[in-house]
Amino acid sequence: MTAPTAAPASEHDTPSTQGWLLLLEASFARLRLGMTVMPTMGLLFGLLLGWQGGPLAPLLVWGGAYLPALLFVWWGHRRYLRDRALQPPQALLPTWTRRVRWLALAHGLGVSLSVPLSLGHGNYEYMLLLHITLAGILAANAAQMSATLAVYRMYFMGAVSGLALIPWAFPGQWPMVLPMTLVMATVIYRSAVNSHRFFVRQVVLEERSRDLAERYREASDTAEATLAEKNHFLTTAAHDLRQPVHAMALLAEAIALNARGQPQIEALLAQWRLSMRSVNHMFDALLDLSRIESGAVALRPAPVPLAVLFDDLRIQFATDAIARGLNLRFHTPPPGAAVLADPALARQSLANLVQNALRYTPQGGVLVGARRRGAHWRLEVWDTGVGVALHEQAQIYEAFYRPEHAWQVHRSGHGLGLAVVARCVALMQARQGLQSRLGKGSCFWIELPAAPPVDQVLQRMPTADMRGTGPLLQGRCLVLDDDPHVLEAWSTLLATWGVQVRLASNAAEAFAQLDTGFAPEAILCDQRLRSGESGFEVLRALLARCPDARGAMVSGEYDSPELQAALDEGYLVLRKPVDVDELHAVLSQWLRPEKNNEISL
């Protein structure tokens, strides 16, 4: 639906029906305002004419006649508001455009009526003042009533009809006054046309802005929904895929305990462990990326001692560096040096950089250090690896991106480590960067705010494998998991360690084991059970039945509310694939070691 006015230059510059209604309302509002001042004008010009000796009544009656006309227009406006609430815009626009046009014509004729009412009674100065006032009113309405040009055109036609009386209003001067008045009227009308175009353009721009905002909101909602769906898929897929990896890890450990002294089998198991570790790293990176993108990571800034951070990384990557034949060195910062950052995100970021450096350094070494830069510490990871070409440095932090030459050096990477670093650094509102030359090595760095010096005590966890030399465990363990392959792997490993194990896939089977008289000292329960039960609720019920037992949750999920509740209540949560050393250490505390028995490896 288009308004009855001059066509815009382009179809795309035409307002919608709702936009034309807004323009009509602006013209209608100006019409009402213009009629409001007319009674005052009639009073003033009537008094002026009477002061000059002319009749007072005609202009007073003229001004007074505007009062009922004004009431009629205000009533019409109320009716318009009622119709707007009841009728669709397509039906409302043509009807009310026609009505407002007729009201504007009537108002224009009413304004021009002041001229014949003054003929023969006012002197030259009076008539000149009257025409100047009428021209001012005409110009003022051109700036507002022209929102709908068809409305202003009708008003203009009525208002300038009084120009026909100029020869009688200015008997001696009309040859000069009439052309000047016509020129002024033309200029005013052209100004009204320009104002109308401005109004139309403003409405079009506002509609485009609203449309863009709405499309942006829809796109944003779609993107957020897609991201949430992707993150949910990654979480679910990671849990499901961790199940077989978890089972393989347990079986590999059980086989290793029985294959000690057989070099060929040990070599195969070592490769098996490395492969599973690579898969596990991929799952961890995917979940880290998913959790950061979904906003599930809460930032908890705290002083992080650099010496403790570096020592943790030294312990974590020492074995990997030795296995690769690389020299891993740490330039320890001064005592008390610390950064203000989220401890988990800072450690994850630096660990990913070290792991990335080791992975893409065929020979030479990796150096981890820290430099003080004003109010910040710059944590740097240097390597003598393959480097990054200049044109690829902007893409290196994108998820799943790997330079072509990187595939030739290390094929098991997934292009996620640096993406996680970028997300962690952005979340901490820190800075990052790299300096690299292809074939000459790289320096990746993270810059974090310096924290006041802190005291730290370096606590190194023992790294010796006590599972092969320590005494057999002695005790009873109940394991709940809905995957039969995982249950079989649990049974094989725990039996190898000397543990009496009972298995269950749901709460009913678990309580049935207790009903047989089995009294577990340790209970390990998966969170996601196919029966639909909450593993945490089942674990609490089992521990209530066995108050002397100790329990832990085992799950491949990371953002489960139940697991977070378990952590908040002080329960131990083991992540799949379970670290066998960690599992053995936990059970060594919960179960009694069997005296005079050792595992011969």
Measured between alpha carbons, how far is 396 from 409 in angstroms, rounded to an integer? 16
| Predicted TM-score of the model (pTM) | 0.44
Residue 398, Ramachandran bin (φ over 0: left; ψ between -120 and 50: alpha; else beta): beta
What 3-state class would DSSP assign to 490?
helix
Report the first-to-last Cα separation within the chain, whole angstroms.
88
Buried b (16+ CB within 10 A) or exposed e, 505-523: bbbeebeebbeeeeebbbb
Name the phi and psi angles at 120, rounded to 5: 80, 0
Q: Which ranges in 160-305 belong to alpha helices (H)?
A: 166-169, 174-258, 263-293
Residues 174-207: pLDDT tens digits? 888 888 888 888 888 888 888 888 888 888 888 8
3-state secondary structure 89-127: HHHHHHHHHHHHHHHHHHHHHHHHCHHHHHCCCCCHHHH
Structure confidence at residue 289 (pLDDT) = 56
Peptide bond into 179 cis (omega under 30): no
User: In CATH, what class is 297-451?
Assistant: alpha beta
Structure confidence at residue 459 (pLDDT) = 37
Name the phi and psi angles at 274, rounded to 5: -65, -40
Angle at 354 between CA 351 and CA 360, to 5 degrees: 135
Measured between alpha carbons, how far is 306 from 321 in angstroms, rounded to an integer? 21
Question: What is the secondary structure of 513-562 as a DSSP string?
Answer: HHHTT---SEEEEESB-TTS-BHHHHHHHHHHH-TT-EEEEEES-SS-HH
Structure confidence at residue 267 (pLDDT) = 66
Q: Which residues pair with 501 in a beta bridge?
A: 477
Which parts of 440-539 are beta strand (E)?
441-451, 471-480, 499-504, 522-526
- Which tokens hold the place of 21? 């209604």
Angle at 502 between CA 509 and CA 575, to 5 degrees: 90
Name the phi and psi angles at 78, rounded to 5: -65, -40
Q: How many CA atoms lie within 13 A of 207 on its CB side?
A: 18
Measured between alpha carbons, how far is 435 from 445 in angstroms, rounded to an integer? 9
The C-alpha R_g of the chain, in whole angstroms, comes to 43
Structure confidence at residue 5 (pLDDT) = 46
Give kind and range of the element (H or E) at residue 327: strand 327-330
Grouped pLDDT means (10 residues each) for the chain, 601 residues? 45 78 86 84 82 82 87 88 87 89 89 84 82 85 85 88 83 84 86 87 86 84 71 59 64 65 66 59 57 62 88 82 91 88 84 87 92 93 87 71 53 62 85 87 92 60 44 86 86 88 92 93 87 86 92 79 82 81 85 49 29
**332 contacts 440 by C-beta, under 8 angstroms:** no
- Which tokens hold the place of 475? 């005790």
229-292+468-601 has which fold?
Rossmann fold (3.40.50)
Structure confidence at residue 120 (pLDDT) = 78
- Which tokens hold the place of 295? 């906003």
**Ranges of each domain in the chain:** 11-171, 229-292+468-601, 297-451
- Which tokens hold the place of 230? 């992707």
Residues 134-180: pLDDT tens digits? 888 888 888 888 888 888 888 889 888 888 888 887 888 888 888 88
Helical axes 343-359 vs 417-427, angle rounded to 10°: 150
Structure confidence at residue 242 (pLDDT) = 60
Residue type for position 147? A
Residue with tokens 């005291």: 455
- Which tokens hold the place of 588? 């060594």
- How far CA 204 is from CA of 151, 196, 349, 403, 447, in Å, comes to 20, 12, 49, 47, 47
- Which tokens hold the place of 476? 């009873």
Residue with tokens 């705010």: 449
Measured between alpha carbons, how far is 345 from 352 in angstroms, rounded to an integer? 10
Listed as own residue / partner, the contacts of 580-584 with beta carbons closer than 8 Å and 24 or more positions apart are 580/249, 580/250, 580/253, 580/467, 580/493, 581/465, 581/467, 584/466, 584/467, 584/497
- Which tokens hold the place of 219? 């796109």
Structure confidence at residue 599 (pLDDT) = 35
Structure confidence at residue 600 (pLDDT) = 32
